[in-house]
């Protein structure tokens, strides 16, 4: 991919892998485009060739480590001190996000929740995210997020907003269209709110053994 000579965006919103007898094809969602013959479909992020329908079951996974994304690349606050990492994209004013955050209090010794700022709810969310990213006292920033009280945090003049900008690009890159969006310890993803975060994490661990 480092020596691409030409690129043209096609009017395709999605692709499906289709099995017909013992043959496979790729077809656009509207049926207009099809990839036929001896093609190779590769999950570049995970370095895996997709040969069968069964191989597609793990495609809803995002391995940030394998992709090369580090903590400093993310506009995030850490909640908890456990060894198991859970990454959740949130908006500071998202009610559904905070319902999940409320469940984390009893699990913070077992997990470290990386709360990644992905402001999607408008200007106020962007401003709150900037303040949280700029606050050097991360405990103070975390408390402000948990309490949803951002007036006591002031965005510094020399604040590095690079991580927030990178996070927004990452969210778009990963196809995250709404929050909360969770990357589970197994690297599988879960979109939307859950009223049983503990159960979700326990099932993820059980199915990953």
pLDDT in tens, 24-74: 999 999 999 999 998 999 988 778 899 999 888 777 889 898 888 988 999
CATH number of this structure's domain 65-207? 3.40.30.10
Greater confidence (151 vs 3) lies with: 151
pLDDT of 197 reads: 97
Question: Where are the domain boundaries for CATH 3.40.30.10 in the chain?
Answer: 65-207
If you average pLDDT over residues 86-102, what whole number do you get?
97
Q: What percent of the chain has pLDDT over 70?
A: 99
Those residues with Cβ within 8 angstroms of residue 198's Cβ, 6 or more apart along the chain or in another chain:
103, 106, 107
pLDDT of 45 reads: 76
| Rounded alpha-carbon distances, angstroms, from residue 9 to 6, 13, 27 | 10, 11, 16
Q: How confident is the model at residue 1 (pLDDT cuts 50, 70, 90)?
A: low
If you average pLDDT over residues 143-171, what whole number do you get?
90
Give me the residues paired with residue 79 across strands: 113
d(CA 194, CA 200): 8
- For residue 116, give the 3-state DSSP assignment: strand
Residue 148 φ/ψ region, left for φ over 0, alpha for ψ in the -120 to 50 degree band, beta for the rest: left
- Give me the chain's average pLDDT, please: 92
Return the biggest CA–CA distance within the chain. 63
Q: What percent of the chain has pLDDT over 90?
A: 69
The lowest-confidence range among 40-54, 72-86, 116-130 is 40-54
Those residues with Cβ within 8 angstroms of residue 204's Cβ, 6 or more apart along the chain or in another chain:
184, 185, 186, 188
Prediction pTM value: 0.81
d(CA 94, CA 148): 10
d(CA 98, CA 58): 28
pLDDT of 146 reads: 96
Q: How confident is the model at residue 152 (pLDDT cuts 50, 70, 90)?
A: confident
If you average pLDDT over residues 171-180, what whole number do you get?
90
Six token digits for residue 31: 């049926």
pLDDT of 58 reads: 74
Whether the per-residue pLDDT at 119 is higher than 70: the answer is yes
pLDDT of 94 reads: 97
β-sheet with 189-191: strand ranges across: 76-79, 111-117, 84-90, 181-183, 189-191
């Amino acid at each position: 991919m480092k020596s691409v000579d030409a690129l043209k965006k096609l009017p395709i919103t999605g692709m499906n892998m289709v099995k017909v007898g013992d043959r496979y094809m790729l077809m656009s969602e509207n049926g207009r485009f099809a990839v036929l013959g001896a093609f190779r479909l590769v999950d570049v992020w995970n370095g895996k060739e997709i040969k069968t329908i069964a191989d597609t079951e793990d495609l809803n996974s995002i391995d940030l480590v394998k992709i090369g994304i580090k903590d400093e690349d993310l506009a995030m606050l850490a909640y908890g001190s456990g060894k198991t990492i859970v990454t959740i994209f949130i908006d500071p004013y998202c009610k559904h996000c905070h319902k999940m955050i409320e469940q984390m209090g009893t699990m913070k010794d077992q997990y470290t929740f990386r709360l990644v700022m992905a402001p999607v709810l408008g200007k106020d969310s962007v401003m709150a995210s900037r303040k949280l990213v700029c606050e050097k006292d991360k405990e103070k920033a975390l408390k402000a997020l948990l309490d949803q009280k951002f007036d006591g945090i002031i965005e510094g003049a020399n604040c590095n907003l690079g991580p927030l900008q990178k996070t927004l690009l990452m969210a778009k890159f990963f196809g995250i269209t709404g929050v909360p969006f969770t990357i589970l310890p197994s690297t599988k993803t879960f979109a939307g709110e859950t009223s049983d975060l503990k159960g979700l994490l326990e099932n993820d661990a059980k199915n990953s053994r």
